């Protein structure tokens, strides 16, 4: 069942859990995430990130995400992740996406605020919610050699949320995108303060590779959406490697299916933590 970002985050608030939000740049990822969510009977968010255009173009994979959401037995939001321009968001809306994240986090505060306002007014009247980012969580998906994180100031967050009218905020509190090279040190008290002051659902980016205990504390402090991809994808790659070491595989679809099964298992264990199952 296709639902929008506001509706799915309301379910998270009712259950005091975080909704798993998975990047799904290809069909195997979509199938893996939907299968895990249906098995556990939990709502879930499928995401296409602008940075994954090289894997699948928006007009190719977008309809797949929306259709998978419509036919799923659980509530599913089809969400655009890390959009950096309005045109990309317009294209997503035309395809039926029900959530968008505008990422102006690398811009100066005022510019991020003005652009985010434009996104909120663009989406107004559509069956779609808006997430925005304040502070910076480098590196970007796929990026390298970025400077360290810029933590979100709670009072700036209050002003930003009030002025823009967004539905969810992604603050920066020590997570990073991609595979962690050392154990992340998270400022979860900052999450609690920002949630209390903004009264908005908060989003964790760089959710792969965080300890179960940090997830639990983060959720009880106000995280309602956790973005997760790198470790799921890594599990798929590992399964393919193992299969190729064991046998001589001719058909690519056998590799794709092995990856899908492994990603489903990985997504399921992440969901068990996010939903407290
Ligand atoms: Zn992100």
User: Per the residue annotation, which of 81, 103, 167, 214 is the catalytic one?
Assistant: 81
Q: What would the pLDDT profile of 134-171 be if each residue is shown by its tens digit? A: 987 766 554 554 556 679 999 999 999 999 999 999 99
**Is 240's pLDDT higher than 70?**
yes
pLDDT at 11 over 70: yes
Residues in the 5 Å CB sphere of ion ligand 1: 205
Torsion sign over Cα 58, 59, 61, 66? positive
Q: Give domain limits for the chain.
A: 5-274
Give the CA dihedral 168, 54, 261, 175, nearest 10 degrees: -40
**Closest among 102, 180, 100, 170 to 139, alpha carbons compared:** 180
Which pTM value belongs to this model?
0.95
CA of 260 relative to ligand 1 center, distance in Å = 22
CA of 21 to the centre of ligand 1 (A): 10
Q: What distance in Å separates the CA atoms of residue 22 and residue 43, rounded to the nearest whole number?
A: 12
CA of 28 to the centre of ligand 1 (A): 21
Domain 5-274 has CATH 3.40.50.300: no
Quick check: 133 pLDDT over 70? Answer: yes
Cα of 84 from ligand 1 centre, angstroms: 12
In the chain, what percentage of residues exceed pLDDT 70?
96
In the residue annotation, 167 being an active-site residue is answered as no
- Burial group, residue 251, by CB count within 10 angstroms (0-12, 13-18, 19+): exposed
Q: Does the pLDDT at position 77 exceed 50? A: yes
**Interval between CA 251 and ligand 1 midpoint (Å):** 33
Beta-strand (E) ranges in 96-149?
A: 99-102, 129-134
């Amino acid at each position: 069942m296709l639902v929008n970002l506001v509706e799915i985050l309301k379910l998270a608030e009712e259950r005091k859990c975080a909704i798993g939000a998975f990047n799904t740049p290809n069909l195997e990822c979509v199938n893996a995430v939907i299968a895990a969510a249906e098995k556990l009977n939990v709502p879930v968010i499928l995401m296409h990130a602008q940075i994954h255009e090289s894997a699948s173009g928006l007009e190719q994979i977008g309809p797949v995400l929306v259709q998978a959401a419509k036919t799923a037995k659980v509530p599913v939001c089809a969400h655009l992740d890390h959009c950096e321009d309005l045109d990309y968001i317009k294209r997503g809306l035309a395809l039926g996406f029900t959530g968008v994240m505008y990422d102006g986090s690398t811009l100066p505060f005022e510019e991020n605020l003005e652009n985010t306002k434009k996104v909120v007014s663009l989406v107004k009247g559509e069956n779609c919610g808006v997430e925005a980012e304040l502070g910076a969580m480098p590196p970007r998906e796929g990026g390298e050699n970025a400077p360290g994180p810029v933590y979100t100031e709670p009072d700036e967050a209050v002003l930003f949320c009030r002025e823009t009218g967004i539905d969810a905020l992604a603050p920066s509190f020590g997570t990073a995108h991609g595979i962690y090279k050392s154990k992340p040190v998270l400022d979860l008290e900052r999450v609690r303060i920002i949630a209390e002051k903004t009264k908005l659902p908060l989003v964790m980016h760089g959710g792969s590779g965080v300890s179960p205990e940090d997830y639990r504390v983060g959720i009880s402090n106000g995280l309602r959406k956790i973005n997760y991809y790198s470790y799921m994808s890594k599990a798929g790659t590992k399964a393919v490697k193992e299969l190729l070491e064991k046998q001589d595989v001719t058909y690519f679809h056998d590799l794709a299916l092995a990856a899908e099964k492994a990603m489903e298992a990985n997504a399921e264990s992440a969901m068990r933590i996010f939903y407290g199952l």
